Structure 1
Amino acid sequence: MSVPHARPFHLPRLSLRSPSQLVVDEEQLADGRPDCAGAPAAECCLVPAGLRRESIPKHVAIIMDGNRRWAQLRGLPASSGYEAGVRSLRLMVELCCKLGIGVLTVEIEFLMSLFERGVREELESFLRYQFANPIGKIRISIIGSTSKLPNSLQKLIVNVEETTKNSSGLHLIVAVSYSGQYDIVQACQRIAMKVKDGVIAPDDVNESLIEQELVTNCTQFPYPDLLIRTSGELRISNFLLWQLAYTELFFAKSLWPDFGEIEFLEALHDFQRRQRRYGGSCFK
C-alpha cells in the first residue's frame, strides 16, 4: 500500500531521551494529549509529514500475529519469532509515546511455554526501564484470565501494575488469555448480581453500565479508534468484541516481526483518510 506524501519517521529504538530530529507541533502539547510523562518538548507529540495531529487516534489496538510463521520461513525456532516480535512491540510502544497516542492495547497469544517465559521477561524488562528512565514512564495494565497463570507470574503482574499505576505517559494494556466473549459474559454476570441484590434496577442496565464492568474500564479511552492486525488474517478472533463496535480496522500483510515504523505510519495514514460515522450512514 503506498502512502502519498509520507516519509520515514525514524526514531531511536528503545530510547526516549535521545534528541529528535523531527519538528514538534507546539499546539499539540497543550491539547490534552499525553506528553510522555513530562518529557521535553522535542521528545513527544511529533507529527510526521502527511499526518494531522488532530486526527491521531487516542487508542490503538494491535493483534500481533505471525511470529511463528516468521520464524518458520527462516528455518528458526518459534522462540526466535517471539523474540523478534518483542522488538516490534517495543518499537510500537515508543512510536505511540512519540506521537502522543494515549493507549496501546496488544494481544499476546503464544505457546504456553513461550508465553510464560516471554511475559515474565518483558514485564521485568519494562520494570527495569521504568526505574532507569524517569522520563517517558508508561502505565502497564494486564487484562484477561490471569488467574490461569502461574502464581509467580501473577505476583509479577500485580507488582508491575502497582509500580506503574501513577505513570502519566502511554497506557500499555496487555491482553493475556483474553476472550472478548468471556469479557462480556462476566460483565453481564456482575450486573445480574447487582440487580439480584437490589443495588440497581433492570431498567438501569445500559451500554454505559456494561462498559464499566468490562476489563477495559481501567483506561480513560476504553474504545480503540484503530485496530491493526498483522500477517494478512482478516478477522478479529474474539478480541475486544464489545469495544470494537465502531473501531476502524486495518489489516496488514506483514508478519508481526516485520511490522515496523513505515507500516505503522501506513496504518495511521489509512485511518486518517477514512470518514468515521460511528454506526451512522452516509445517506442520512
Structure 2
Amino acid sequence: MIDSLLRVAGVYKAYEKYLNQQVKWGQMPEHIGIILDGNRRWATEKSLNATDGHWAGAKVGEQVLDWCLEYGIKTLTLYTFSTENFSRPSAEVSAILKIVEEETKKLGKDSRLHSQKVRVKAIGRTDLLPESLQGVFKRLEDETGKYDGHFLNLAIAYTGRAEIVDATKKIVEDVHQGNLSPQQIDEDTFDKYLYTAHLPNPNPDLVIRTSGEERLSGFLLWQSAYSELVFVDVYWPEFRRIDFLRAIRLYQMRHRRFGR
C-alpha cells in the first residue's frame, strides 16, 4: 500500500532521477554479477505458486539487461540456477528450466543483441540440462559468438566449486597430454580454464544479491575475490531501477584496494 502511494505521489520517479544524477558521472563497474534470490518467498507472500515467482523474476532479468546497456556496463552475469537447485521438487525444476528456455528463445529474437553486439553464453555444467534447452543455448551462442560489445552470461547448472573442479580436471588433462607443464600453472593460467575464460573482464567488480541474504552461495568464487558486495533487502521480482542505481552508488563510494 505504501509503495503504491509513493508511486502515485511520484516520489520514486524523483528519487530515481536523483540517483541517476549521482551515478552517471562516476566510474561504472565493467562487470556486474547478480544472485537472483527470493522468487519463491515473493510468491508465497502474495499467495501465488513458485512458478509465478520464477516468471516474475524472469521479467526483471530483461529489465536489468536494459539498464546495463543504458549505463554502458559491459558484462552482466546472472546466477540463474545452481546445481543444488536440481534437488528441489521435480515439478518446480521442470518449470524453472522451461521458463529459462522460453525466455532464452525470446532473447534470441531481441534486436538489442545484434544492435548492441551482445554475446550470450550459458556457463555451468550445461550437459545436465534438458537437450532442448542445451540446443536453444547453442543456437544463441553460435549467433552471438563473435560479438564483443557486451557480454551476458547465464550461470545455470552452476556452482563455483564445480567450476573450480572442472578447471582443475582440464589442467590435469593438459599436463598429462604434455600441453602444459606444472611450472606453467599460475593464477593467470587457471583463469583460462574457468567458465568465464571468454570474457575480457571475468572478475565482477560488483556482486549484488537480492532478498536480504548475505552470502555468495557459490557464485563466481574464484572470480569474486576482490568484488564489492551489495546485499539488497528486496526479493528479485521486486528489484527496481532504484535498487540497481543504489548498488552502483555504493560501489562508487567504496575504495577498492585489491588486497593491497
Same fold (TM over 0.5): yes
Say if 1:97 and 1:169, in contact at 8 Å, map to a contact too.
no
Aligned partner (choices 123, 131, 138) of residue 104 of structure 2: 123
Residue aligned with 1:241, SS: coil
SS at match of 2:70: helix
With a CA cutoff of 8 Å and minimum separation of 6, indicate the structure with the bigger relative contact order.
Answer: 2
1:71 has 2:79 as partner = no
Aligned equivalent of 2:16: 8
Other structure's SS at 2:201 match: coil
CA contact (8 A) 2:113 2:119 kept: no
Q: Structure 1 88/201 Cα, relative in aligned 2: closer, same or farther at 3 Å?
A: same
Match of 1:226 among 192, 197, 206: 206
Does the CA contact (< 8 Å) of 2:122 and 2:155 recur in 1? yes
- 2:65 corresponds, among 93, 117, 121, to 93
Equivalent residue letter for 1:150: P
CA offsets 1:144-172 (integer angstroms, 9 cap, x no match): 11101111211111001111123343211
**2: CA distance, partners of 1:254 / 1:133:** 28
The aligned residue for residue 239 of structure 1 is 219
Q: CA deviation at 1:179?
A: 1.3
Q: Deviations over 1:191-228 (max 9, x none)?
A: 11222222222111100000000001121110000000
Pairwise CA distance, 1:136:
3.3
- Is 1:106–2:78 an aligned residue pair? yes
Please tell me whether residue 201 in structure 1 is matched to residue 181 in structure 2.
yes
The residue type paired with residue 95 of structure 2 is: L
- Greater shift in the superposed pair: 67-76 or 101-110: 101-110
Report how far residue 52 of structure 1 moved: 5.2
Residue 177 of structure 1 aligns to a residue whose secondary structure is strand
Which letter does structure 1 place at the counterpart of 2:41? Answer: R
Q: 1:157 aligns with which of 119, 122, 137?
A: 137
3-state SS in 1 of match to 2:169: helix
When the two chains are superposed, the root-mean-square deviation of aligned CA atoms in Å is 1.9
Alpha-carbon spacing, 1:133–1:215, altered in 2? closer, same or farther (3 Å): closer
Distance verdict in 2 for CA 1:167–1:201, change over 3 Å? closer
Instruction: State the TM-score, normalizing by the size of structure 1.
Output: 0.79
Does the 8 A contact of 1:96 with 1:170 survive in 2? no
Alpha-carbon distance between aligned partners in 2 of 1:60 and 1:233, rounded to the nearest angstrom: 18
Query: 8 Å contact 2:51–2:96 — kept in the other structure?
Result: no
Percentage of matched positions with identical amino acids:
37
Instruction: Report the CA distance between 1:66 and its aligned residue.
Output: 0.3
* 2:26/2:252 contact within 8 Å kept: no
Distance in 2 between the 1:52 and 1:126 partners? 27
Structure 2 stretches lacking a partner, 5+ long? 1-13, 86-91
Q: 1:191 aligns with which of 160, 165, 171?
A: 171
Question: Structure 1 residue 79: deviation in Å?
Answer: 1.6
Task: Choose between structure 1 and 2: higher helix proportion.
Answer: 2
Count of aligned pairs: 238
Q: Which letter maps to 1:215? A: Y
8 Å CA contact 1:141–1:174 kept in 2: the answer is yes
Partner Cα separation in structure 2 for residue 205 and residue 166 of structure 1: 28
Residue of structure 2 equivalent to 1:181: 161
- How far apart, in 2, do the equivalents of 1:98 and 1:161 lie? 23
Pick aligned residue for 2:232 from 252, 268, 274: 252
CA distance in 1, matches of 2:220, 2:148: 24
Query: Residue 9 and residue 214 in structure 1: after superposition, are their counterparts in 2 closer, same or farther (change >3 A)?
Result: farther
Distance 1:251 1:193 in 2: 38
Retained in 2: the 8 A contact 1:71–1:77? Answer: yes
Q: Is the 8 A contact 1:9 1:261 kept in 2?
A: no
| Counterpart secondary structure, 2:110 | helix
